[in-house]
A and B are shown apart, each in its own frame.
Chain A
Amino acid sequence: MSNVMDRVNSTLGDRYADMNRLQFGLLAVALIALIIAPVWGGSYLRVLALGNIFAIFAMGWDIQSGYTGYISFGHAVLSGAAAYTSALILTHIAPDISVWAILPVAVLMSVIVGLLLAVPTLRLRGPYFSLITLVAGLLFYRGTRTASQYTGGEQGLLVGRLTFDPVLRFYITLVPMLLIAAALLYLSRSNIGTILIAIRENEAAVESAGIDATKFKIWSFVLSSIPMGIGGFLFAHFDGTVNPTDVVLIDRSVEMIAMAVMGGMGSILGPIAGAFLFVGLRDGILPAFLSGTERWLALWVVVLFVIVFARDGLFRKLWHRLGDDTEGDSE
């Protein structure tokens, strides 16, 4: 195994901190476990598949909010835009079209909505970007009710599923998640990631370095919109319904933030862990003991504890414990 590890470390080059045996082991085990999940997952395969989608959401939030420090409180607007685009097209415009053909349109819509939010607000410093994203989320939710003749109101719309086979469905969510993770990890360790982190730490310094901070802030939002759009599309066709509660309620945006923070924001890997932790608790572990309101209560109490007492994120803590790493931290 050390051969493989050394080769991975050297291919990754000196942009990525060298992993030690334990850290490499952790990632390898997790990756392998995911890839062969249908073998051991059993009835939890659905939870794992949802975990993949939520991991996409959490990563998408992280590359923008976690890295630049401009916190989006309404990120579900982006995934919601994709989900509703797909649903609206399938319901009102072209019901017979192949679902996959809509994917690029859905993602494009997510990017457009993202730009609409980002361009006017990211040129301002201060909390205004965050406030606008919060308002956007509330507006989207309200809007589904106002335009209920198109959106199906609270009931939502029925759309086709991508597949009825749970194993196939799992892989349909896993592959994009891994690809997105790889892409975002690459970007976050590149110059782009460095600049985004610098914007978070000291935006004035970034400007003094001759770098247009506003441009990069908007770029991070675009980079975030793409995975959010993909995730939104996958979510819409996971169970086949698109309704405001499951897709754009403010709780959904809050969950994305909670997942990323529990795992460790500003690291891409942390949010993945946080997503699986959250979904695992919500749909996997807690239902064994509690149901209904009590389960939600327990879930949020756990979340509260984690974010208050493990502010840097559980995965980050674990990673550093494994690595005895004291490098300058943001990864």
Chain B
Amino acid sequence: MIEGFLSLVVTGALISAVYALIAIGFTMIFGVGGILNLAHGALIMIGAYAYLVVTSTSTFAAVSVPPILGLVVAVVAAAAASLILYKGLVQYIEEDVIITFLATVVVAVIAAEIMTLAFSPNPRSLTPVVPGSISLPAVGLRIRFIEIAGFAISWVVIGALWYYVTRTDAGRSILATSMTRRGAKLTGVNISSVSTQTWLIAGGLAGLAGVFLGTLQETAPLMWLDPLALAFIIVVIGGIGSIKGSLVAAYLIGFLETFTVGVLGPEFRGVFSLVVVAAVILVRPEGLYGREFIDE
């Protein structure tokens, strides 16, 4: 019993870090531009498939790089895709909330269809960045190195992001813009540059998360929907536009999900999280660390 509990705690802690990556990217875009980028999940998928393409010979027999390099490729691919999405489409329609919502979700669906055509709808497995696992028979635990890697890399990246956003001028302008777009413009912040950075960072985070999710769970064309729903739930609970909120809520939801599935079974996946977010919206819509919608 204790082993089961401990194992759930460990899994929860590890997967929450990856969820945090996804949520932070999503909330940055929403915070900075007020844009609900429903193609965010698709960026995760692109990261996973990019990794697949370069690390396994199943696609291009001539191409096969070490997993670490594959990780870098995944991040770059997703970041690039994210920027192209913004510059090529979203920036022209971002004024219209409904059209942006619709267009990004349609783009996500189109991306999934393309993946299905290119890779077949069957789930694929990814070569772990760090293979193998470690056993701790004393506490009856077995942890895979990829889970530890996911945890460690996620936290390093989150730490780097935190530093960037709070200590560097470029990063601080992102924070400022997410608090008040008008105020930022008035103090000379280059909004276009902020948008570019935000979308690149969000894409990179998504790509990174995609590799880990794709390894720990599975890589399939439909993998864009669940992480998106999770990101969305986490962001609402944590507070729209708040990185700290996303972190805290990611852990809340990460543990909630892990325990729910571990104790009650996979049919209950997502249910309690959805109930929690519904309650949050009704009782405290700003979330844990968010701001009220005052000057909308």
Instruction: State yes or no: do A and B come from one complex.
Output: yes
A residues with a Cβ closer than 8 A to B are 71, 73, 120-121, 124-128, 131-132, 134-136, 138-139, 142-143, 145-146, 148, 250-251, 254, 257-258, 261, 265, 293-294, 296-297, 300-301, 303-304, 307-308, 311
Interface-located stretch among B63-71, B107-115, B166-174: B107-115
B89 touches A139 (CB 8 A): no
A304 to B93, CA, bound (A): 12
A128 touches B285 (CB 8 A): yes
Task: Point out the residue from A120, A145, A265, A296 that lies within 8 Å of B267, measured CB to CB.
Answer: A145
A136 touches B278 (CB 8 A): yes
B106 touches A304 (CB 8 A): yes
A152 to B109, CA, bound (A): 26
Task: Point out the residue from B101, B121, B285 that lies within 8 Å of A124, measured CB to CB.
Answer: B285
A71 to B92, CA, bound (A): 21
Chain B 85-112, CB within 8 Å of chain A: the 1/0 string? 0000100110011110111011101100
A128 to B287, CA, bound (A): 11
8 shortest A-B CB distances, which residue pairs? A126-B293, A297-B113, A139-B274, A304-B106, A128-B285, A293-B116, A142-B270, A300-B110
A139 to B225, CA, bound (A): 13
Taking the complex as formed, is B282 at the interface, i.e. its CB lies under 8 A from any CB of chain A?
Answer: yes
Residues of A near B110 (CB, < 8 A) are: 297, 300-301, 304
A265-B98, A294-B117, A311-B93 given; 7 more Cβ-contact pairs under 8 Å: A125-B296, A142-B270, A146-B268, A146-B271, A297-B117, A303-B106, A308-B92
Question: What are 17 A-B interface contacts by the 8 Å CB criterion?
Answer: A71-B97, A121-B281, A125-B296, A127-B293, A142-B269, A146-B267, A254-B105, A258-B102, A258-B106, A261-B102, A297-B110, A297-B113, A297-B114, A297-B117, A303-B106, A304-B106, A308-B99
Taking the complex as formed, is B277 at the interface, i.e. its CB lies under 8 A from any CB of chain A?
Answer: yes
Q: Which of B118-168 contact A (CB under 8 A)?
A: 121
Query: In whole Å, how far is B94's beta carbon from the nearest beta carbon of chain A?
Result: 12
Which residue of A has the minimal Cβ distance to B270?
A: A142
Taking the complex as formed, is B232 at the interface, i.e. its CB lies under 8 A from any CB of chain A?
Answer: yes
Chain B 258-296, CB within 8 Å of chain A: the 1/0 string? 000000000111110011011001100100000001001
Query: In whole Å, how far is B226's beta carbon from the nearest beta carbon of chain A?
Result: 10
Residues of B near A138 (CB, < 8 A) are: 229, 270, 274
Query: In whole Å, how far is B28's beta carbon from the nearest beta carbon of chain A?
Result: 17
Residues of A near B105 (CB, < 8 A) are: 254
Residues of A near B21 (CB, < 8 A) are: none
B275 touches A311 (CB 8 A): no
Knowing A142-B271, A146-B268, A297-B117 touch, does A121 contact B102 (C-beta < 8 A)? no
Knowing A126-B296, A257-B98 touch, does A300 contact B109 (C-beta < 8 A)? yes
Query: In whole Å, how far is B19's beta carbon from the nearest beta carbon of chain A?
Result: 16
Residues of A near B101 (CB, < 8 A) are: 71, 73, 257
A265 to B99, CA, bound (A): 11
B residues with a Cβ closer than 8 A to A are 89, 92-93, 96-99, 101-103, 105-107, 109-110, 113-114, 116-117, 121, 225, 229, 232-233, 236, 267-271, 274-275, 277-278, 281-282, 285, 293, 296
Majority SS of interface residues in chain A? helix
A124 to B113, CA, bound (A): 37
A251 touches B281 (CB 8 A): no
Query: In whole Å, how far is B29's beta carbon from the nearest beta carbon of chain A?
Result: 14
B267 touches A308 (CB 8 A): no
A307 touches B99 (CB 8 A): yes
Residues of A near B269 (CB, < 8 A) are: 142
A143 to B89, CA, bound (A): 35
Query: In whole Å, how far is A128's beta carbon from the nearest beta carbon of chain B?
Result: 5
Knowing A124-B285, A138-B274, A139-B275 touch, does A131 contact B98 (C-beta < 8 A)? no
Query: In whole Å, how far is B119's beta carbon from the nearest beta carbon of chain A?
Result: 11
Which residue of B has the minimal Cβ distance to A250?
A: B225
B89 touches A308 (CB 8 A): yes
B277 touches A135 (CB 8 A): yes
Knowing A254-B102, A297-B117, A300-B106 touch, does A125 contact B271 (C-beta < 8 A)? no
Which residue of A has the minimal Cβ distance to B235?
A: A131
Which residue of B has the minimal Cβ distance to A132?
A: B281
Residues of B near A250 (CB, < 8 A) are: 225
Task: Point out the residue from B229, B268, B275, B282 that lies within 8 Å of A120, measured CB to CB.
Answer: B282
A311 to B165, CA, bound (A): 36
B99 touches A139 (CB 8 A): no
Query: In whole Å, how far is B127's beta carbon from the nearest beta carbon of chain A?
Result: 26
Which residue of A has the minimal Cβ distance to B38?
A: A254
Knowing A251-B109, A300-B109 touch, does A307 contact B270 (C-beta < 8 A)? no
Query: In whole Å, how far is B191's beta carbon from the nearest beta carbon of chain A?
Result: 21
Residues of A near B274 (CB, < 8 A) are: 135, 138-139, 142
Residues of B near A293 (CB, < 8 A) are: 113, 116-117, 121
Knowing A142-B270, A257-B98, A301-B110 touch, does A308 contact B233 (C-beta < 8 A)? no
Which residue of A has the minimal Cβ distance to B266?
A: A145
A252 to B129, CA, bound (A): 37
